[in-house]
Structure 1
Amino acid sequence: MTQAENFLQQKLKERTDKGLLRKLTNLFLPVDFCSNDYLGFARSAALKKLIEEQISNIKPYQNGSGGSRLLSGNHPYTEKTEQFIADFHQAETGLIFNSGYDANVGLLSSIPQRGDTIITDELIHASLIDGARLSYAERYKFKHNDLADLEQKLKAAKGLIYVVVESVYSMDGDLAPLQEISNLCKLYNAHLIVDEAHATGVIGEQGKGLVVKLSLENDVFARIVTFGKALGTHGAIVLGSENLRNYLTNFARSFIYTTAAPLHNIAAINCAYQLLTKGDETNEITKKINLYNHLIKDLDLSIIPSQSAIQTILFNSNERARTAAKNLQDKGYDVKAILSPTVPEGKERLRICLHTYNSDEEIIYLANHLKELQ
């Protein structure tokens, strides 16, 4: 065995010994409280039909893009879709990336320069962390949703300042105090970047996100909207000014040096937005969230209050979280334990995702079984 193979084996053994080894699974339990498909679009027959109809009208149509968008992979339909999405979110324009990870890495690695400062909430997504690491800017973290700590970091910042938050946090499900953060950014002449991955489709009118709900469109430098959660498809868009779009086209390496998404994927995104504008799914998911919160409000469980589709029950160890998840899975509920190091040690949890297709009875039964975990 080579030295490199020995290294791999040792690192995997360390994970195994700690009970932290990740594995792919094909286990699908009857009742989904796990996936990010909040509005049921990933399984929607109506969306599938709409995509098929849309594809038949795209000329010319190819199975693959054939290259990056700067070479052979661009199409008028893609640019129309970008503007359609930007208009929906009340932004000037936008640029589609192949994934949320690509969008976050491309944005944060290319814009902040040496001598600038990036200030991030301590619980931002790994893709935002990786993007910030790839820049040459100074980096600070502030305590989660802690405005006083953010202000201290702003006072110490130099150069152009970028504050990076999520509107809905992916592991806690709580909302950022976005109005207050925006006010601080104005006070210290900082530029606010908001990842709306888990707000899109769920928060605000028609699921336009927290930025639009709070009328902060003109106060946010950039928004990242991903399509793999409530929209049930794949990819992401960075929303902002025409200057931002042109800059990313020229300097975001994760956009420039990758093969463009095939038109089938762009059509899926476009059709998901059409479905979102015509349907009532955002109101439906809000009803499910309200029902769940009503049912668990008197339970003696450690929860993080959430107005989003992500609900959390905290435990103080991997083993307790894993055992709780197993109890629910044995009853047919697909609920996953989120373990350290994905979350901080001592903050292990059950992450419960609600969906429009979860019946009221399923949510009631889940709440009843949660009582057994007290």
Structure 2
Amino acid sequence: MTPEKPPAPSPPRPETVFDWVEHRDSLRRQNGLHRVLRPRAATEDVLDLAGNDYLGLSRHPAVTEAAAEAVRTWGAGSTGSRLVTGTTELHATLEEELAAWYGTEAALVFSSGYAANLALVTALTDESSLIVSDRNNHASLIDGCRLCRAEVRVVAHSDPEAVRAVLRESPRPAVVLTESVFSVDGDVAALDRLLTVCREHGSGLLVDDAHGLGVLGEGAGAFSAFGMGAPADAVATVTLSKALGAQGGAVLGPRRVVEHIAQTARPFVFDTALAPAAAAAALAGIRLLRGQSHLPARVRAVTRQLREELLDHGIGVGEPGAAVLGVPVGAPEAAVAWAGRCLERGVRVGCFRPPSVPDADSRLRLTARADLEDDEVRRVAHVIAETAPDFAALSGG
């Protein structure tokens, strides 16, 4: 009788089930991808080109006083989801005025732009749908695609012809998914051409206008800036936390579509509503912008000036379409070090590394502000140039 083989030894068990996170952390550190939370003070002697307060409204007296009054009137929190107790008169007024300003039939406010994007994609597609998604779309749109179970075709960045080719091949009901202003490099999508392509094939256009609201055209959003009116076959999302200086997000479009999202989108139905203070601040921001249409033009002028100053210093930077500039670096370690040297000199810049950008494509991200003076823009460019890495050494040249 053949003796039974002894059982194979079991692999050593970790002390705890989450020991693997230390290994992942070690890999991130080795690859220059470890991130650190850096609390900032209420007041700093720093020129901030990392945040998204494009028009300088987050500290505008009208905005902050509206938020403070809302806290005194409504309390600190919204107390529930929008369909229970979370919808206040402030939310209703904000949606009404936001839709009127943006030029759509209706608006629906969420607790964040991220939640609004998840709701947009998941409520308007299902397993029978096709989504044609720009390669450079924001993570919130990508996550929406993953959740909705639709077929997703990723196409070349800002290429309406690539979109047309995919739509021509597919018999499925389709939507095209894009940002208006892409969040990493600040280039602007050809929304007018994309809408034309969509209409050729009976498809819908879904636009993340987070970085376009308050910046493109006279500030009233991408549909207005592109002369698209209130399209019946397009829906947009916006954030209230950038140009409006507040917090939250919204979906804007035809009333029947917005009402469908309110009935079916899990990020709306099950999420606690936006706090009244943030709703009031966003409403104040809209009312300010309606009377100060020079602000969008000013932030674009600052962006152009900053680019010209950087080019004069020999710093390569892409052509701006709105208020974002990307400065390619390459290695994540070099981008982190460069941003750190800028901060030591009193200039805060964004530092984008994978997974926010592709591998070997790390960069500084600069966001212009309407309240920057010309001499401050010159100082920013000077600091960035003086602290720049040796690109020849980085490339091995």
TM-score (norm 2): 0.88
Structure 2 segments unaligned to the other structure (5+ residues): 1-13, 392-397
Determine whether 1:169 maps to 2:185.
Answer: no
Structure 1 segments unaligned to the other structure (5+ residues): none
Tell me the distance in 2 between the aligned counterparts of 1:203 and 1:224: 15
3-state secondary structure, aligned to 2:28: helix
Please list, as runs of the form range in 1=range in 2, the aligned pairs for 1:68-147 lying within 5 A after superposition: 68-147=81-160
Answer yes or no: is the 8 Å Cα contact 1:29–1:334 preserved in 2.
no
The Cα of 1:54 is off from its aligned counterpart by 6.1
The structure that has the greater radius of gyration is 2
Alpha-carbon spacing, 1:319–1:66, altered in 2? closer, same or farther (3 Å): closer
Q: Deviation string for 1:33-64 (max 9, x for gaps)?
A: 111011111122332124445666x6xx3443
Answer yes or no: is the 8 Å Cα contact 1:167–1:176 preserved in 2.
yes
Give the equivalent residue in structure 1 for 2:339.
325
Answer yes or no: is the 8 Å Cα contact 1:32–1:358 preserved in 2.
no
Give the equivalent residue in structure 2 for 1:230.
243
Answer yes or no: is the 8 Å Cα contact 2:120–2:261 preserved in 1.
yes
Q: Which runs of 4+ in 1 moved over 6 A?
A: none
The Cα of 1:196 is off from its aligned counterpart by 0.6
Structure 1 residues 174-183 or 292-301, which shifts more? 292-301
Give the equivalent residue in structure 2 for 1:12.
25
Tell me the distance in 2 between the aligned counterparts of 1:92 and 1:129: 27
Structure 1 residues 111-120 or 21-30, which shifts more? 21-30
Tell me the distance in 2 between the aligned counterparts of 1:65 and 1:367: 43
Answer yes or no: is the 8 Å Cα contact 1:310–1:351 preserved in 2.
yes
Answer yes or no: is the 8 Å Cα contact 1:115–1:158 preserved in 2.
no
Give the equivalent residue in structure 1 for 2:216.
203
Determine whether 1:261 maps to 2:274.
Answer: yes
The Cα of 1:284 is off from its aligned counterpart by 2.2
Answer yes or no: is the 8 Å Cα contact 2:113–2:248 preserved in 1.
yes
Alpha-carbon spacing, 1:50–1:72, altered in 2? closer, same or farther (3 Å): closer
Alpha-carbon spacing, 1:364–1:248, altered in 2? closer, same or farther (3 Å): same
The Cα of 1:200 is off from its aligned counterpart by 0.8
3-state secondary structure, aligned to 1:176: coil
Tell me the distance in 1 between the aligned counterparts of 2:289 and 2:129: 38
Alpha-carbon spacing, 1:305–1:62, altered in 2? closer, same or farther (3 Å): same
Answer yes or no: is the 8 Å Cα contact 2:230–2:253 preserved in 1.
no
Give the equivalent residue in structure 2 for 1:351.
365
Answer yes or no: is the 8 Å Cα contact 1:325–1:337 preserved in 2.
yes
Tell me the distance in 1 between the aligned counterparts of 2:86 and 2:351: 40
Answer yes or no: is the 8 Å Cα contact 2:50–2:366 preserved in 1.
yes
Answer yes or no: is the 8 Å Cα contact 1:117–1:158 preserved in 2.
no
Answer yes or no: is the 8 Å Cα contact 2:114–2:140 preserved in 1.
yes
TM-score (norm 1): 0.93
The number of aligned residues is 370
**2:62 is matched by which residue type in structure 1?**
A
Tell me the distance in 2 between the aligned counterparts of 1:331 and 1:350: 16
Q: Deviation string for 1:285-331 (max 9, x for gaps)?
A: 12212322332344533322112111111122113322322332221
Which of 223, 230, 245 lines up with 2:258 in the alignment? Answer: 245
Answer yes or no: is the 8 Å Cα contact 2:70–2:277 preserved in 1.
no
Which of 359, 367, 383 lines up with 1:369 in the alignment? Answer: 383
Answer yes or no: is the 8 Å Cα contact 2:208–2:236 preserved in 1.
yes
Answer yes or no: is the 8 Å Cα contact 1:73–1:259 preserved in 2.
yes
Q: Identity of counterpart residues, as a percentage?
A: 29
Tell me the distance in 2 between the aligned counterparts of 1:94 and 1:234: 16
What is the root-mean-square deviation of aligned Cα atoms in Å?
A: 2.0
Answer yes or no: is the 8 Å Cα contact 2:46–2:347 preserved in 1.
yes
Determine whether 1:216 maps to 2:239.
Answer: no
The Cα of 1:218 is off from its aligned counterpart by 3.4
Tell me the distance in 2 between the aligned counterparts of 1:66 and 1:270: 20
Give the equivalent residue in structure 2 for 1:35.
51
**1:97 is matched by which residue type in structure 2?**
F
Tell me the distance in 2 between the aligned counterparts of 1:234 and 1:153: 36
Give the equivalent residue in structure 2 for 1:341.
355
Tell me the distance in 1 between the aligned counterparts of 2:98 and 2:15: 50
